[in-house]
A and B are shown apart, each in its own frame.
Chain A
Amino acid sequence: MWNKVLVLLFCAVFAAAGRYYNESLDLKPLPRNKLLASFQFNVESLPFDLKYYDTSAELQGNHHYTYFPRALGPIIESTNTRELHLRFTQGWWDSESWGRLPSSGFQSGGTGVEVSALIEARDVQTAKANWFKLTKTLSGFFCASLNFIDDSITTFPKHAASSQNHTNYSSQPKNKLFFIRAALPSEPICTENLTPFLKLLPTRGKSGVSSLLDGHKVFDSLWHGMSIDVRTDCDSKTCSLKMLQSVNQVVDIIRSKRKKEEGGLPKPTPGNKLRCDDTKTFNAWQCFPLSDPTNLEWSLETIYGRRIIGPAFADDPESTVINVDTEPSTWKVGLSKNRGDVTESYHISGPKKNHISEYLREQVKYDFQFETSNSSVVNPIKAPPLYVTRSLTGYSQDKGGLRVTFTNPSDEETVDFVYFESLPWFMRLYLHTLTVEVKKDGEIISNAIDTSYIKDRFYKPAVDRKRPSHLELSISIPPKSSLTLTYQFDKSLLLYHEYPPDANHGFAIEPAVVTIFDKDGNDIYEARTTSLLLTLPTPDFSMPYNVIILTCTVMSLAFGTIFNLLIKKVITEEEMEEITKSSKINIAVAKIKSRVQQLKALIKPKKE
């Protein structure tokens, strides 16, 4: 989902410059010594003739790629993908202290991997075939488990996607556009996903701001998200693919500093470096530690361990720009240029007081230095338009519930949004158990499913192993109120082979998506809940073998007993003795006994 403002911005950037590549790095200090770093890379392909490919057809004609990656182009064209959105996110965004998500949340996915695409096709089957082809190829490309995307987790969002097609691409007359989405919440994000991401860039991480990106540093953050968005833009004659890649991360500066100074292993602070609270008892044995220091000095090298190597392309002076958002009263920003053995540094400031914008033009190594007397004073944090929390309720093995609370922090404005949730088929949802509770200032003002709060509902129930349940609610919340939804579900047993190797760990449930619309129906903000960990009734996996073995034993016991009863005769003890008397063994035993008796008789007289 794309913010129109953002789209307009891209269009403006591309149109004004007429170039095919540019990149930017936005740095924004957050309270409590955190830093939001946001890398943006824009690539545009050469204009080409857009064709519709039938599933069997090979790519035809010549395809030229300059800045746009050739690795991705053919995949997108051959599957008739008109828009592609890929999100790799990990961590928890603390919206109470960090405010709104970067780019109004349109670049941030939920925990794990999320992929959605707008596919042009004749019918649903063709669209699905192309979708699976797309995800399988992307899986190989990004080393992610996207190949596990199948019918059971694929959804076709309805309302949440109404504003999806921002490029206003119109399909060929016989075709339709299908918006398809899937998420893998348990997918870990790591270096092997970043490497192919960097390979898509025309600089391949060798120059420009992407030279800062290093797996060890990017993923050593409180929250990070990578995103790739490809859109098809057409004018009357030709089309071109526009790609926006981004890496957003929240870095803990104290941690980065400590790692730089002391190395990766945390060590206890030596006594002379302890920061103690002077107002409390404080001597050689007692120390009430203060919170983190607020007068800090750090640079990009502290965080990333390297410097920016020149602009992305030396002959394009506006290809690389760095934006810094700081409060000028407490922050000083310095720029240092390293030309081999000479380093030149100076303070920089922007025309607007709290915003600095600096183009990198020279082929030197850049570093940005930050010096602050009070790091807790930062540019004002804007609160998000809505807070959402979602949690599992219930404790039994066979059923559970979901509880979602939306809070509108605004004093005046009503918030309209669409809540999108896709749950796996093994959560059997009972929508009749849906309850709504609206609270204002701690008092319940309504608990009926009222059309003034829930304006529209869309629900597609799950089909076992074929389709997830798909719920979309269009909700409106008055100012200073909160709305709580609860609904119940049954946990179902899976087939033996459907359990993953670590079944007792639980099953990750994908985050729900909240898309907020303004009064004109444009999407203005997007946020996701956290993912959930659902424990299903898990069998003992040695059970089938135990059952086979036990059944076999019982069967053979029964067989043995009956068989012996049939073929053997029951006799009395006397009869038994009678028989044994005349048996060969008994005769032999009797002989030995008599011999022993004879020997004893021989020994006894000697003793006497």
Chain B
Amino acid sequence: MPQTVLNDGSLNSRDPVQTTIQTVRRIIVFIVLLLVVGFGYPVFFFTTSIYRADLPVDEINEFSQFLKQKIHYKIPVYLDIPSTIQYSTTEAQSHLNEALSKAYPEFADFWTIDLIEGAKDIDPKEEYVVRFEYVPKTSENESPQEAIEISPHSKESKLFITDAINKGTLVGHFLSSVLIDMIFKEELADLSAVLAGKQSSADKNIVLPYSANYNLVFSLFVENGRSIDWQIDQSIRQFQPILDKLSHFANFSISTQVQYYSKLSKDLTFNESRGAYILQESDLATFINFGDWNLDTHDMNPSINFIIYFPESNYESKPWFIENIDSNAFLVKQWGGVYIFNKDRPVLNDSKVSLVESELNPIMETFASQLFQLLGLPSFPKSPYMRIDSLSRITLLKNLKKSLDNLRSLVKLTESLDEISIPELTKEHVLESLSFIKNALIKLDVSQDYHAAMTLSAQALKNSDRAFFEKEMVQQAYFPSEHRLAVFLPLLGPVGSILTIALLKLLMDLKSSRKSKKKTE
């Protein structure tokens, strides 16, 4: 047996057999290491990894960064100008653009008005129309004033032009100030608020989140158990035209109900001096007894509730009043409206009470205006056609912004949590949402059809919500990686330690053999 010492390379370094054995050992260690690193680690990683679908991060970022630049509102306004008025469309247009960029510098290329001459075949219910009318001087002393008349029943407005401004470019000035400061004032203010990420003026937490479908629920809450006949069916027919106008904006399904034995959570005190029960303003927040009254709707779509409350004291001809509110109606933010009903004539004790159409119609008008508030319609101009148009444009922007915000948050979440799985379904919803956004933008660019674009944007919002709240993803949000390591420790621990020691030894061997080589040389 040759004198060999494992640790001491210097003794056997010249023995050729020992050298080959040592090389073979080194090669073995090297191969095993290679196997573990090159094959074992990927297999371990692959079999224990969490599925993370690839999200189109760049696209989302690009969209949310350049959303404003991608939206182009171009609102055509048709002009009807008699030849007596001195006016040039190109000048007026440039004036308008100037005035707009002065008032809202951020709106360049985002929101523009397109002035078009000739309004003969244009339906003023569909498109914006401005009619000019020349008012000649009637007498020497009295010169007529310029005036504006905005129709409450269509998208038409009338400008009365006098001699005082019927010269040079003054008519164009007048037109641009009317458009920017009156007709589109609220819309512009709201749009700029949305762009800046602030709450719009009409909002103040009153407006319900947008949905393509709403449930309208009209409820009659009766304080006691005496049956009441209410002719709601006819009154709802009065309501229908308003909903028809809103049909571009959203669909509404109507249901009505009567609920008896609906007591308030707090008893009212009778005010002798006014001969009535007085409801304090501070009590309005707790007026609706959510726990007891049947107000739940088992439906995916949001509900807007309108309540007519019929107090028992109607039988004693004692009315209910709300302190400081004359209309006896109030709005509940993001929820609905309430009207407290006082019967005009005293009720005979044995007769059955009925709420007839003539009594219900004024209430329905109150509810209609409350509905406009809850949907976030601008308060000016009066014409519902203009308001709904503006609302569509504002909602479109809101929806697009909100859905992109959702997608951005999703990306952020997945980037910050490495352990969260991203199921294929999330990716699908994200892609769908993006395609809806793209389609909405295309619709807007090609045909300026903001109603259709808004419907698409609502779909985008719905899909982005679905992507963010995907069940599987949220479920596994907290699957810790320590568990994985703990379970496999009996394998990883010993194998790892054996390999490390072998590697250390190999390195030491190499070192000492190099030293001895140097010595011998």
Contacts and interface: CB of A to CB of B under 8 A. Distances in A.
A426 B292 CA distance: 44
B431 to A, nearest CB: 22
A559 B296 contact: no
Interface string B491-510: 11111001100100000000
A578 B225 CA distance: 109
A569 B487 contact: no
A58 B29 contact: no
Interface residues of B, number: 51
A543 B257 CA distance: 57
A508 interface: no
B502 A567 contact: yes
A556 interface: yes
A521 to B, nearest CB: 38
Contacts of A140: 298
A444 interface: no
B299 to A, nearest CB: 7
B251 A58 contact: yes
B256 interface: yes
A540 B7 CA distance: 50
B217 interface: yes
B232 interface: yes
A315 B226 contact: yes
Size bracket, chain A contacts: 35 or more
A553 B4 CA distance: 34
Contact of A559 (B253, B261, B495): B495
A71 B294 contact: yes
A346 interface: no
A69 interface: yes
Given A71-B298, A560-B498, A579-B5, A62 B487 contact: no
Given A59-B253, A566-B25, A566-B28, A70 B294 contact: yes
Given A199-B294, A556-B494, A65 B257 contact: yes
B491 A552 contact: yes
A92 B41 CA distance: 61
A71 B297 contact: yes
Contacts of B108: none
Contacts of A575: 1, 4
A203 B255 contact: no
Interface in A519-573: 545, 548-553, 555-557, 559-560, 563-564, 566-569, 571
A203 B224 CA distance: 10
B488 interface: yes
Interface string B290-308: 0010101111010000000
A399 to B, nearest CB: 35
B6 interface: yes
B516 interface: no
A74 interface: yes
Interface string B273-299: 000000000000000000010101111
A204 interface: yes
B331 interface: no
B32 interface: yes
B225 A549 contact: no
B296 to A, nearest CB: 6
Interface string B215-259: 001000000111100001100100000000000000101111111
B260 interface: yes
A63 B251 CA distance: 15
Contacts of A75: 298
Contacts of A313: 225-227, 260
B29 A552 contact: no
Interface of B: 1, 3-8, 21, 25, 28-29, 32, 213, 217, 224-227, 232-233, 236, 251, 253-261, 292, 294, 296-299, 301, 352, 487-495, 498-499, 502
Interface of A: 58-67, 69-71, 73-75, 137, 140-141, 199, 202-204, 206-207, 310, 312-316, 545, 548-553, 555-557, 559-560, 563-564, 566-569, 571, 575, 578-579, 582-583
28 contacts: A60-B253, A61-B254, A62-B256, A63-B254, A63-B256, A64-B255, A70-B256, A70-B257, A74-B298, A202-B260, A204-B260, A204-B261, A206-B260, A206-B261, A207-B225, A312-B225, A313-B225, A315-B227, A316-B227, A549-B487, A551-B491, A552-B492, A556-B494, A556-B495, A559-B498, A560-B498, A575-B1, A579-B8
